[in-house]
Structure 1
């Protein structure tokens, strides 16, 4: 997952384990995640991760995977951005290597999830063609893709979904989007 022509990427995510000990589950998941290649900050509402696109996705996937290992129903909501003109924190992490720090755990801890994502290419390119192309691109990762209003439904293995999301994000940038935003909602261990 190399980031050619790397631009600073970021993510703000919130994770909600359906459990009385949600604080412990979240803090343990963050502690088990290697964030050394990203600028990371957690507050009472969310966690912000900044750095290279691959590392931002790697960290957010790891926190989700570690939290879901509890077996509890977990809801994950994230907004990813690359190329935001106002984003400056995290530039020092752009020189990091391509080696993903959580890839082994993410593969080992992957699970079947239901997700929805929406893609917003801004400032360049024909955005609707780009969106439709990237929805099709998700299918190449072995993910079930279903159209729905305002988002696209994804069902499959969490590792495959995150690989697909990385590809979608990268290809949208390569298609001419100078600033791209992607929202993602994931449900793991749902009792329904």
Structure 2
């Protein structure tokens, strides 16, 4: 990330386990994730985590993976944001180092869709097309679609791509960036051939 950019990144998300035990799955995913490096608040609709980018993405991946490890079909929807004017609530967490605390390397196939919104950038389509090309190079691109791009693969590769794309899509001139994300895990529609 370039010097001068706001270091606070946020992710507001909702987790939807397709199970009558959704409460215990959501609470378990949160409890089994080390969130000491981020500011977090959960209400009756969603959860928000905020802090340094490296920790926000690490915690987001860990919560998702912990929910997925139950084997239940899980859907995740959320919004990453950086550079929002006045975004200072989590500044106390900016003193954290860059060493991540959640290091579970369990493999997990995910299918997802994302959309990038480089705010106030007149060349926003160039940014979006560039990130689609990066996804193809990384082998995580799935398909083009209206209002989003499909990304799939192992959860670690997918989140690594999203974090890199989020970094590349910001600039000193255009600091405010929003990225929406929808993810499906353990869906019967994925098919066994996609889990190889």
How much does 1:128 deviate? 1.0
> Residues 7 and 124 from structure 1, CA distance in 2 versus in 1: closer, same or farther, beyond 3 angstroms?
farther
Q: 2:187 aligns with which of 182, 185, 190?
A: 190
Q: Alignment partner of 2:92: what SS?
A: helix
Unaligned runs of 5+ in 1: none
Q: Alignment partner of 2:170: what SS?
A: helix
Q: Is the 8 A contact 1:29 1:63 kept in 2?
A: yes
Deviations 1:45-80 (A, max 9, x none): 111000011111111111110001110100000100
Aligned residue in 1 for 2:134: 137
Superposed structure 1 runs of 4+ greater than 6 Å apart: none
Whole-angstrom distance in 2 between the partners of 1:125 and 1:134: 16
* Aligned residue pairs, count: 187
Matched, 1:152 2:149: yes
> Residues 158 and 26 from structure 1, CA distance in 2 versus in 1: closer, same or farther, beyond 3 angstroms?
same
How much does 1:12 deviate? 0.3
Unaligned runs of 5+ in 2: 190-196
Deviations 1:107-133 (A, max 9, x none): 22x311110000000134621111111
Q: Alignment partner of 1:118: what SS?
A: strand
Q: Is the 8 A contact 2:132 2:141 kept in 1?
A: no
What TM-score results when the alignment is normalised by the length of structure 1? 0.92
Deviates more, 1:11-20 or 1:86-95: 86-95
Aligned residue in 2 for 1:32: 32
Deviations 1:148-185 (A, max 9, x none): 00000112111101000000000011374210000000
How much does 1:142 deviate? 2.5
Matched, 1:121 2:118: yes
How much does 1:90 deviate? 0.5
- Computing the radius of gyration from Cα coordinates, the structure with the larger value is 2
Deviations 1:73-116 (A, max 9, x none): 000001000111132210111121111111x21x22x3111100
Q: Alignment partner of 1:14: what SS?
A: strand
Whole-angstrom distance in 1 between the partners of 2:175 and 2:120: 5
Q: Is the 8 A contact 2:2 2:172 kept in 1?
A: no
Q: CA RMSD in A?
A: 1.5
Q: Alignment partner of 1:140: what SS?
A: helix
